[in-house]
Amino acid sequence: MKSVALNMLGNRSDAEDAVQEAFLRAYRSRSTFRQDASLWTWVYRILLNTCRDFGRRRVSHGETPLDIEDGFEPQARDDDHPLRLALMRALDELAPIYREVFILCEVEGHTHREVADILDIPEGTSKGRLFEARQKLKARLRGTVATEHQPSHTLRRTGVES
């Protein structure tokens, strides 16, 4: 869950706060939990809503800079690093509905069925959004990977649709 929040919000501190708030929200509203759903998908759904709220607050308070070092582990400095960086940037520019599906499927390894349960959408919609997300990412990466060494030391996550 921390990883999902990190990829949604861009820094560990916010990710931990979002996980904390999500669990508290779940705990406080546990009486509204419907037992025909999975407890885990329900908590995940609350986490994603919390991340969206955090993103909206950021927009209303101005963008928060993300230090690249905060988002990357030291061992990430391998041959993939430029593409990772480009993918993070491209993901950041994706609309939340695509970013969420991409993160859940491709980064976290959830199945479309699980993603559909978490986001409360049909499985086909999850597949469609992932396809769209990939297309958009590919289009963006084609334009940015070649300029991988451009000077940039901060990423900005806005949480708004590009």
Partner 1 sequence: MTNQGFDQHDDEQISRVARSLHREWDTPDLWPRIAAQMREDEGSTPVKPDTTRLRWRYPSSPIWRLAAAAAVLLTLGSVTWLAWPRVDTTPPPRAAVDDDRLLTDEAVAEIERAEAQYVRAIDELTRLTKPKLETADSPLIVSLRERLMTIDTAIDEYQMEIDRNRFNAHLRQQLLWIYQEKRRTLEQVQESDRNAL
In the complex, which residues of this chain contact partner 1 (CB under 8 A)?
1-3, 6-7, 12-13, 16-17, 19-21, 23-24, 27-28, 30-31, 33, 35, 38-40, 43, 73, 76, 80, 82-84, 87-88, 91, 102-103, 106-110, 134, 137-138, 141-142, 145-146, 148
The residues, ordered by sequence, that sit 6+ positions from 24 with a Cβ below 8 Å of its Cβ are none
We find the least distance from the C-beta atom of residue 23 to partner 1, in angstroms, to be: 5
CB atoms within 10 A of CB 65: 14
The residues, ordered by sequence, that sit 6+ positions from 1 with a Cβ below 8 Å of its Cβ are 19, 22, 43, 44, 47
Looking at the Cβ atoms of 48 and 137, the one nearer to partner 1 is 137
> Based on the number of CB atoms within 10 Å of its own CB, is 72 exposed (0-12), middle (13-18) or buried (19 or more)?
middle
Looking at the Cβ atoms of 12 and 156, the one nearer to partner 1 is 12
We find the least distance from the C-beta atom of residue 60 to partner 1, in angstroms, to be: 12
